[in-house]
Chains A and B, each alone.
Chain A
Amino acid sequence: MTSPDAGISEWIAGLAGECSVCDDVMALLCTDFFIPVSISLYMLLLWFGTDDPVHRVKNQYGVMCASASLGIACGFVSLINNYVDLWDRPFVDGEKARQAAESLFYMPHDPSFPANLAAVAFGAATGLWIYNRKASIPIFVLAILWSISRMYAGAHYPLDILGGMGIGITIAFFTYGVFRVFHPIPTFLHELARKFYLA
């Protein structure tokens, strides 16, 4: 079965091969490593790289919320994937998507919907946004680039991305709620990190 937005997906994947520079950039962005590692390193920089102690604590709580959202979103999507497999990946039915996946990425075996990458990246971005809107902008940019690159590489439909994004954002707000209700837990973890000169 194909997604209702298969036509849009095929059009996006059809852009692959038109411009070699764009292909190289997208091939780098869509890997399993470039954007997730960049997001993680950016959060690590936010954790350590703030001179003002008050501002730093705020960023550190934001990073804790973002990291928790990222982890929960990843686990939740894996759980959904065990029970729901709405449609095949774009490269299974689309000729252009197949060519794009072969040349830029690879052909993953796990279900297409919802996109794990979108849930993880938008979850992290929203978790940080709740605490520090300005600092979350780079993660939102990386999340959007990652999503576009995976559609370009014929690995996801736009609906997969939207589904993942919705899950990630919802989980980030849920995580924030948990942080507020069970505030002694993040406070304890922060104090523990402080004892080891990590916060």
Chain B
Amino acid sequence: MNFDAMTYLLLTFGGCLGIYQIGAFIGDFKGLWFFRKPHLTLAGGLAILGITYIWFFTCADLNMNANDAAVVEGHEQLVFFLLGAFLALVLTFIVSSLVNHRGFKSEAEPVIGEGLEDLKTRTAYQAFSYRWNRRKKKQ
């Protein structure tokens, strides 16, 4: 992966990280928040997104596709975007699970099977581990 591709990957990673926080605030998915307070989550998301955009569009070579060796056009853009989105999602799951681990009552019966809805009352780690343990018990 060359420097330009890495720069673009960082744009998608930072952009997605910010969008997950903004989306978690709007959707009230407390299990994905990086901060306990909702408005801090929104501000954090906007800050990550804003800083990433300002950094990329002021520092990166925006005409990096001008030469024949262009590496970030067409389907490469899609691949790098998906990779950035995936990495940002993994980081969001890890950080939010660490931050909010004690924030939810683990003894309460969680709502499981509703997908994203579950993350309103559970962290991603709690939701995954609850499902994993239940599967093991069934076996």
Contact = CB atoms under 8 A, between A and B. Distances in A.
Interface in A170-194: 193-194
A195 B49 CA distance: 27
Contacts of B118: 197
Interface in A21-80: 27-28, 31-34, 36-37, 40-41, 44-45, 47-51, 53, 56, 71, 74-75, 78
Interface in B85-139: 85, 89, 114-119, 124, 127-128
Contacts of A41: 15-16, 19, 49
Interface in A114-163: 116
A7 B124 CA distance: 58
Contacts of A48: 19-20, 23-24, 26-27, 29, 116
A194 B74 contact: no
Contact of A49 (B11, B26, B56, B73): B26
Nearest to B16: A44
Interface of B: 8, 11-12, 15-16, 19-20, 22-29, 49, 56-57, 60, 62-66, 68, 72-75, 77-78, 81, 85, 89, 114-119, 124, 127-128
